[in-house]
């Protein structure tokens, strides 16, 4: 549901540095609840007093019993106060409201062949999380914004509030004329009541969806209209966003078109809206709309460092993964989040290029590894939780995305994407389980992949490999030993999984695919000459940690010849030879000449770590790099020299560089190099508005550095 921002590790979390802090197996088992009926349609009518932060409403419920003797209906209702319940003819029904439930006594006994309808009248006068009344500030207008995930629709709509039940819906909302109203589905009309100074928006969601996907957004929005063919695509933004909104969202139709083709299933809803909400950080999906944090609309300057494009792609992907097919119960959170997270990687690969996508996949993997080593390891499909939000973590997002990456590797591209398309078509507008997906894989591929899912979805952890090799010049045989050592963690298996071994020769490369099944595997290969490089997991398909001791010459070769993932790994592994003239020269060349910014950044960081005092001229040169992250690394390297003579240079960088990241590092460098005479300037810098308070945080850190010298 919530798109998580992952902070990258440098490249790899080394085994044994961290310990898990939480025993997730102590959490209670949660099961999918029973239900007595299938809700079909909610007709929700609301009169909302935005200024008074209250509403009156009614929900006309249509349902069919799932049993033959239904006499009572129990709905979820929390915080709101029910004032009346009427049957279809307007006659009152007896009801009882508890703290979080509404129990309605029906007028007679109904069977599974009947259709039942009634109307609940109610009001809400307290502030709740499910529908936030947000005051006007310097940056946002007064607004009302829903936040139904995972089970907060019940706080402002009496309903059956669990994802395995899907309904069509009408949202009929009356507000003052000053406000616009967005909800799910198509807009049937706006009825203006000039006498009262109010108007009523009538939205209708024609295809069934789950209640946590209900959206209601109200504010004095500017609405920019766009389209993908006949599909309306609109951007609901604040007035202050007028200059930047269309540029910020310009790729939206292009993204939708990409996913249409990728999934083999055209966008399933009547329209697509992106709406800015003051309470969002990243993004949250609703059916036919995405709620986005205010950072989604960026100035050209902010866009240098803080692109929202990946989040936009992630939330668009949810229109299929989570909205069209929806997790049946919360242990299947990966069906929503892993697929959306892998989809934003696939979009980046398509639009940003192979190198950027590879680096994105590294970041995703490291986001999971951080959680695995510092918090816990759990199965991806996991029914132990105290609240559903516990299953929306780095296991559901990046780990699950990497599991899909492995599944694609095992099945092959053609089969994998046929599975994806068939799954969406077969279960469209339905609530699904992991078992549904497993069966679809069998039906489409003809392969029983239960062994794969058992390992990677129903057990915690990940593979940890110790790889070694030896060359026998007499027999011209290369021996490779692969050990799996992850079984020291509880519940983590020894994996059965194929892996590619790449052998680089002066005249090209060969790849051998071997199947791992045991804790220790040994393989032998015959070559005319020893390979110049051996690449473990060629193509980067496996979720893993690994060690593979190599010579300096092989690492230097790998830095030049491998893909970005392998090159970054080799750059980091050269730390073992940090005093070598060859390694120092290679890092120096990479810092200025490598075609990919992350390699240049890594080289600058390593030179700063081991040779900062002798590389000042190089860091001054890399300050002119075209990529802001490389420039920021260069400023940091210079700041760590703590040279007061550079204070003027850092101040100039703060004043002139367009990048907020570079300016932030310049402030920290001033703190590291300066004295109390810089405090006034730093205090003023802390007041400057910046994305994610980047400058404020850096200025405060700089002030702490100076005060620490007293």
Summarize pLDDT for 74-112 with one digit per residue, the tens: 999 999 999 999 999 999 999 999 999 999 999 999 999
Choose among 275, 271, 267, 404: nearest CA to 324.
267
34: exposed, middle or buried (Cβ count in 10 Å: 0-12, 13-18, 19+): exposed
Q: Are residues 450 and 338 in the same domain?
A: yes
Q: 559, 594, 624: which is the final residue of a domain? A: 559
Residue 643 lies in a domain: no
Residue 125 placed within a domain? yes
H-state helical runs in 220-324: 245-248, 252-263, 300-303, 309-317
CATH number for the domain including 103?
2.60.40.1730
In this structure, are 445 and 482 located in the same domain?
A: no
Distance, in Å, from the CA atom of 608 to the CA atom of 610, rounded to the nearest integer, reads 6
Pair (422, 478) in one structural domain: no
pLDDT at 676: 95
Residue 320 belongs to a domain: no
CATH of the domain at 542: 2.60.40.1840
Q: Which candidate, 51, 290, 274, 277, places its Cα nearest to that of 179?
A: 51
Q: Could you say which DSSP state residue 595 is in?
A: S
Tokens standing for 101?
């439930």
Percent of the chain with pLDDT over 70: 97
For residue 106 the two structure tokens come to 């029906």
Residue 280 has pLDDT above 80, yes or no: yes
572-588: average pLDDT: 98
Tell me the pairing of strands 37-49 and 166-176.
Answer: parallel
Indicate if 171 and 111 belong to the same structural domain.
yes
Domain shared by 546 and 437, yes or no = no
Cα–Cα distance for residue pair 562/578, rounded to 1 Å: 20
CATH number of the domain where residue 369 is located = 1.10.390.10
Domain co-membership, 54 together with 192: yes
DSSP H or E segment with residue 660: helix 660-673
Is residue 323 in a domain? no
Q: What is the pLDDT of residue 596?
A: 98
The predicted-structure confidence for 234-253, as pLDDT tens digits, reads as follows: 999 999 999 999 999 999 99
pLDDT reported for residue 21: 82
Q: Could you give the CA distance from residue 427 to residue 324 in angstroms, rounded to a whole number? A: 8
**Which secondary-structure segment (H or E) carries 216?**
strand 216-219
Domain match, 145 and 57 both: yes
Among 559, 592, 621, the domain-final residue is 559
- What pLDDT is recorded for position 1? 52
**Is 629 part of any domain?**
no
> Could you tell me the CA-to-CA distances from 357 to 50, 88, 309, 499 in Å, in that order?
43, 56, 13, 21
Q: In the beta sheet, which residues pair with residue 524?
A: 479
**Does the residue 709 lie in any domain?**
no
Q: Residue 581, Cβ neighbours under 10 Å: how many?
A: 8
Q: Are residues 205 and 60 in the same domain?
A: yes
Q: Tell me, yes or no, whether 531 and 510 share the same domain.
A: yes
User: What is each CA distance from 110 to 76, 85, 160, 481, in whole angstroms?
Assistant: 21, 17, 18, 68
Residue 274, in any domain of the structure:
no
Q: Which residues does 512 contact at the CB level (< 8 Å), separation at least 6?
A: 500, 501, 503, 523, 525
Q: Does the residue 110 lie in any domain?
A: yes
393 and 541 share one domain: no
71 and 207 fall within a common domain: yes
Q: Please give the structure tokens belonging to residue 270.
A: 């009547």
pLDDT in tens, 162-198: 999 999 999 999 999 999 999 999 999 999 999 999 9
Question: For residues 114 and 87, what is the distance between their CA atoms, to the nearest angstrom?
Answer: 14
Taking the model in full, what pTM does it have?
Answer: 0.95
In the structure, what pLDDT confidence band is assigned to residue 275 with cuts at 50, 70 and 90? very high
Which domain does 90 fall in, by range? 37-220
Is residue 390 domain-shared with residue 495, that is, in the same domain?
Answer: no
Last residue of a domain, which of 496, 529, 559?
559
Domain count for the chain, please give it.
3
Please tell me the total number of residues recorded for the chain in this structure: 710
């Amino acid at each position: 549901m919530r798109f998580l921002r992952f902070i990258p590790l440098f490249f790899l979390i080394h085994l044994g540095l961290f310990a898990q802090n939480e025993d997730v197996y102590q959490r209670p088992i949660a099961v999918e609840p029973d239900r007595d009926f299938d809700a079909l349609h909610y007709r929700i009518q609301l009169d909302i007093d935005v200024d008074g932060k209250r509403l009156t409403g009614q929900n006309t419920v249509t349902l069919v019993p799932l049993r033959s003797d239904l006499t009572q209906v129990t709905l979820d209702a929390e915080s709101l106060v029910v004032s009346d319940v009427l049957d279809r003819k307007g006659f009152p029904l007896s009801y009882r409201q508890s703290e979080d439930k509404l129990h309605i006594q029906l007028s007679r006994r109904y069977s599974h062949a009947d259709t039942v309808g009634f109307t609940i009248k109610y009001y809400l006068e307290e502030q709740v999380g499910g529908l936030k009344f947000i005051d006007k500030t310097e940056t946002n207008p007064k607004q009302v914004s829903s936040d139904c995930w995972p089970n907060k629709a019940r706080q402002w709509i009496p309903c059956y509030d669990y994802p395995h039940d899907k309904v069509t819906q009408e949202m009929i909302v009356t507000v003052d004329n000053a406000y616009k109203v967005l909800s799910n589905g198509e807009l049937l009309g706006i009825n203006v009541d000039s006498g009262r100074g109010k108007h009523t928006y009538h939205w209708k969601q024609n295809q069934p969806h789950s209640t946590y996907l209900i959206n209601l957004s109200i504010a004095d929005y500017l609405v920019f209209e766009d389209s993908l063919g006949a599909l309306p695509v609109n951007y609901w933004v604040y007035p202050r966003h007028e200059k930047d909104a269309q540029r910020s969202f310009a790729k939206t139709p292009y993204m939708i078109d990409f996913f249409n083709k990728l999934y083999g299933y055209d966008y399933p809803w009547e329209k697509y809206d992106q709406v800015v909400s003051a309470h969002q950080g990243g993004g949250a999906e609703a059916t036919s709309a995405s709620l986005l944090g205010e950072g989604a609309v960026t100035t050209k300057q902010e866009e240098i460092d803080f692109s929202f494009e990946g989040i936009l792609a992630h939330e668009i992907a949810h229109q299929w993964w989570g909205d069209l097919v929806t997790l049946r119960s919360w242990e299947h959170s990966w069906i929503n989040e892993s697929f959306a997270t892998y989809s934003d990687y696939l979009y980046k690969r398509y639009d940003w290029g192979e190198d950027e996508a590879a680096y994105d996949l590294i970041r995703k993997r490291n986001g999971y590894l951080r959680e695995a080593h510092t918090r816990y390891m759990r199965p991806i499909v996991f029914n132990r939780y105290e609240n559903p939000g516990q299953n929306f973590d780095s296991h559901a997002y990046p780990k699950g995305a990497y599991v899909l990456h492995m599944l694609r590797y095992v099945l092959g591209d053609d089969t994998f994407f046929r599975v994806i398309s068939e799954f969406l078509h077969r279960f469209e507008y339905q609530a699904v389980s992991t078992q549904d997906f497993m069966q679809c894989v069998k039906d489409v591929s003809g392969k029983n992949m239960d062994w794969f899912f058992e390992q990677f979805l129903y057990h915690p952890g990940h593979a940890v490999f110790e790889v070694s090799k030896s060359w026998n010049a007499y027999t011209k045989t290369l021996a490779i030993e692969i050990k799996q050592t992850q079984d020291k963690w509880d519940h983590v298996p020894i994996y059965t999984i194929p892996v590619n071994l790449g052998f680089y020769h002066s005249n090209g490369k060969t790849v051998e695919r071997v199947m791992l099944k045991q804790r220790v595997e040994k393989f032998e290969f015959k070559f005319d000459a020893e390979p110049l490089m051996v690449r473990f997991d060629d193509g980067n398909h496996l979720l893993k940690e690994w060690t593979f001791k190599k010579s300096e010459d092989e690492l230097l070769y790998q830095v030049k010849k491998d893909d970005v993932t392998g090159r970054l790994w080799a750059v980091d592994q050269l730390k073992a030879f940090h005093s070598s003239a060859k390694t120092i020269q290679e890092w120096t060349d990479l810092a200025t000449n490598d075609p990919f910014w992350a390699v240049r950044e890594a080289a600058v960081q390593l030179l700063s770590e081991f040779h900062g005092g002798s590389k000042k001229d190089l860091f001054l040169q890399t300050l002119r790099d075209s990529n802001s992250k490389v420039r920021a690394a260069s400023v940091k390297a210079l700041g760590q020299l703590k040279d007061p003579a550079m204070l003027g240079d850092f101040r100039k960088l703060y004043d002139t560089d367009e990048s907020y990241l570079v300016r932030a590092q310049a402030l920290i460098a001033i703190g590291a190099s300066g004295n109390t005479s810089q405090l006034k300037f730093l205090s003023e810098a802390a007041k400057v508005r910046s994305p994610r308070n980047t400058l404020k945080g850096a200025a405060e850190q700089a002030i702490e550095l100076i005060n620490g010298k007293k």
